Structure formats: structure tokens, C-alpha cells
Amino acid sequence: MKRARSLLIALPLALSAQTSTPSATAANGFSKERLARIDQFMQSYVDSSRVNGAVGLVLRDGKVVYEHAVGWSDREANRRMPSNAIFRIASQSKALTSTAILMLVEEGKIALSDPVSRFIPAYAHTTVALRSDSGRTPVPARRQITIKDLITHTAGISYGTDTFVAQQYSAKALGPAAGFSWYTADKDEPICATMERLASLPFVAQPGEAWVYGYSIDILGCVVERASGKPLDEFIRTRITDPLGMRDTHFFLPLAKRDRLVAVYASDSTNHVARAVNGPRGQGDYVDGPRKNFSGGAGLLSTAQDYARFLQMILNRGEMNGVRYLSPKMVDLMTTNQSGTLYATPGEGFGLGFQTVEKLGADGLASVGSFGWGGAYGSTYKVDPAEHLVIVLMINLIPNRTDLPAKFPTLVYQALTSPRAGTDRVQR
């Protein structure tokens, strides 16, 4: 496999499609020898058939310090993994939809305190299933769900896989009946139709009383459409991805890019990979599907390079190449804990779209003030403002039983031999 490339080059408007090349010298605080460990680490997962392929990308101060593609984009077709491979990013979509919502907040078209029913009237009267009686007696929600409840995942809305509501969700083609619950690319209807149907189902916690991961950001995708008057894909394309130069980020892939879409593999019980089946539980409908249902919570496709550009804009506190997307104060709000103690992982919180690090050691070597998330296909990312770092790892593996995504950030941090001063807290 070729070596890490691109030490200390500025990230251009659109990074060109090329595979990794050898590093020449170490710079910008990273050790050449320690970066080489990441190459070996990633290759070992391919050699042992724990992943089919992966792309790792690290920026510091907006410059590429590490980029490496390993393995196969499609093993059966004998296509090697290029650095510009297109991945299904699933829940990494949530950060872009959250950004879209906050852009509309800054334009006065939405308020975080608004009830969702202002945009989707079906949410004026929702219900909550009682776990204690296995969901047999849904009760009215104590209050209406707000935009802030949704963006912080504190609305009580799950993916409908809870045993006491799963059957009701399946009857409405949601939950277990929708592939992996969050998958909507096969639906021949707009996202607002799906989310209006969701409103008729019982949720699993009262608004504001628990952190529950589920369809909340998909509902916000519909809110973006209603508040802006544009389809979600058009809003994200014209307001975020096109201006940022994210040319390979789409809800449904242009046919000319079909061969760049990474095949999905699945971990078996022995932690080895095999090609996933076709359909929602495998290869999906991102090329040949109806192209109608834009899932703001899980529907986007992207590259490591594109997604790093988006994260660099957030790290820049809302600005990139002279274009401002969000105000610095809004980004501060977005990337600090807004969920109180409801996000139950010790030392971590959840902001307006990102998991946040509140205590050193809570998330590996990440500094306090770092933020990130990942996707159902195994991809992951981390932004460390104190170290001026963006870390992205892309894989497409579902179910994913490998620990590659969990270990990758540590391999990046161990190569960082010149940390910034005072990185135990965020430098705003």
C-alpha cells in the first residue's frame, strides 16, 4: 500500500482524486515515523479481513497532515480504495442538517424554542408509550416538542426498535420494517410524508426528560423544507455543500459517480467481513432508488475530503474561504453541551448536532471542547479545537464489529508530538 501523503499543503477548494503517496518530512507537530504507524495499523485490518477498505484523513490548521486509502472499494470487482471514494455516511448527515436548521435560526425563520407543530401540525398532540406496561397505554405528551428538543435528541423520539413499540412502528413502515430503522432511501414519498406518519406513533420518553437517539433530525429535515420553501437536498446543496466545494456530497448519487461508491460489507460473528446483501440492509438504493426521500438524519453520501471541509468550516467557527455560514457565537452554542445531564456518558455532553467532550480522558486523548460523531456504517470523525485538528475515518461496514473506528483517533494523537500549549481546555 502507498504511504501517507500531503504534509503541510493547503486544503484546496476541491481536493483532486488521487491515491496516497509517501510522506517526505514531518511537520506541523506530527512525527513522520509515528504517522507511519497509522498506515501499518490500517493495513493490518485489511490483511486480517476485518475491514474491506478505509480512508483516513487528518487536517491541522486547515492543512492535510495525513491522508491514506487502504484496501478495496469493491473487492469482488477488484477496485482498490481511492482517497476520493464515496461512502454512505448515515448519521454523519445529522451535522449538516443541524447546520441548516441553525442557518434558518440566524435568519429568523425558526427559533430553537418553536414547537415543531408550527411547521408540521401533526406534532401538536403526540403520545408517549409507557415502558412499565410494555407500551399498552400511551399517554399524552406533557408538552409540545420543540426544535431544541429535536436538535439535542431530547424529544423522546427513538428509531422505533424498542420492543414495546416496534410492532406499531412496523405497521407504519418505520422502525424495524425500514431496514435498519433509520433507512428511508427506498421510500417513494417525500420526507415530510414519512415524518407526518411518524407523529401518529407513540414516542418513548416525555419531551425534555431523556436523551433518546432516533428520528429527530429527520423531522428537522422536514422543518428545513417547510421553513425555507426548498427541498432539503436543494437547501443543503445550495447553502452548504456547493459553496464549500463539497462536490461529492449527495443524497442520491449521480449515475456518472456509480463506480466511486464503496460497496458495503458486514462483520460476521468472527469479526471477519463478507459482502453485504443488496437492499436496505446492504447496498441500498442510493443510485437506483426512487430519489424522493431526503433523510436529514442518515441519508447523505460523501468523501473523507468533502466531510473534512465541512468540519474545518465548523472548526473555523462558521467561516471558510471568505464565506460565512454560521456566526461564531452560534458555532460556540452548537459545539458545547446543551443537554445538561441527559446525555449519560460520563465526561461527555451533546450540543446542537455534536457529541462534546467535557472532561479530559472521557473520549480517549481528545481535548476538552472536542466534538464529533459517526455513522451506522462505521465511519467516525473528531474535531479538536484546542489542537486545531480535524480527524475523519471512512468505512462502510454494517454491522460493524471492528474496533478500527474507536482506535483510529488514538493513532492520530500518538503521532502528534508537538501539542498546542494549554490544550486541557478549549481556546475560543
Instruction: Tell me the pLDDT tens digit for each residue of 65-87.
Output: 999 999 999 999 999 999 999 99
CATH class of 9-85+253-288+303-414: alpha beta
Q: Please provide the size of the chain in residues.
A: 428
> CA 284 from chain center: how many Å?
18
Looking at residue 425, what is its pLDDT?
A: 43
Please say whether the dihedral angle defined by the alpha carbons of residues 331, 337, 343 and 345, taken in this order, is positive or negative.
Answer: positive
CATH of domain 94-234: 3.40.710.10
The confidence band for 131, taking pLDDT boundaries of 50, 70 and 90, is confident
As to burial, measured by CB atoms within 10 angstroms (0-12 exposed, 13-18 middle, 19+ buried), residue 133 is exposed
The confidence band for 421, taking pLDDT boundaries of 50, 70 and 90, is low
Alpha carbons 218 and 318: distance in angstroms, whole number: 23
Same fold, 9-85+253-288+303-414 and 94-234: yes
- Cβ neighbours of 375 (radius 10 Å): 27
Average pLDDT of span 4-27: 40
Residue 404 has pLDDT above 60, yes or no: yes
Residue 15 has pLDDT above 80, yes or no: no
Instruction: Tell me the pLDDT tens digit for each residue of 156-208.
Output: 999 999 999 999 999 999 998 888 899 999 999 999 999 999 999 999 999 99
In this prediction the pTM is: 0.92
Average pLDDT of span 409-416: 98
The confidence band for 422, taking pLDDT boundaries of 50, 70 and 90, is low
User: What residue segments make up the domains of the chain, in order of their start?
Assistant: 9-85+253-288+303-414, 94-234
Q: What is the grid cell recorded at 418?
A: 508537538
Question: Is there a contact between 371 and 356 (Cβ–Cβ < 8 Å)?
Answer: yes
Q: What is the grid cell recorded at 427?
A: 481556546
Alpha carbons 100 and 98: distance in angstroms, whole number: 5
Residues sharing a CB contact under 8 Å with residue 246, sequence separation 6 or more, in sequence order: 240, 302, 306, 307, 309, 310
**Span of 4-13, 83-92, 378-387 with lowest mean pLDDT:** 4-13
Beta bridge partners of 179: none
Instruction: Tell me the pLDDT tens digit for each residue of 214-264.
Output: 999 999 999 999 999 999 999 999 999 999 999 999 999 999 999 999 999
Beta bridge partners of 390: 59, 383
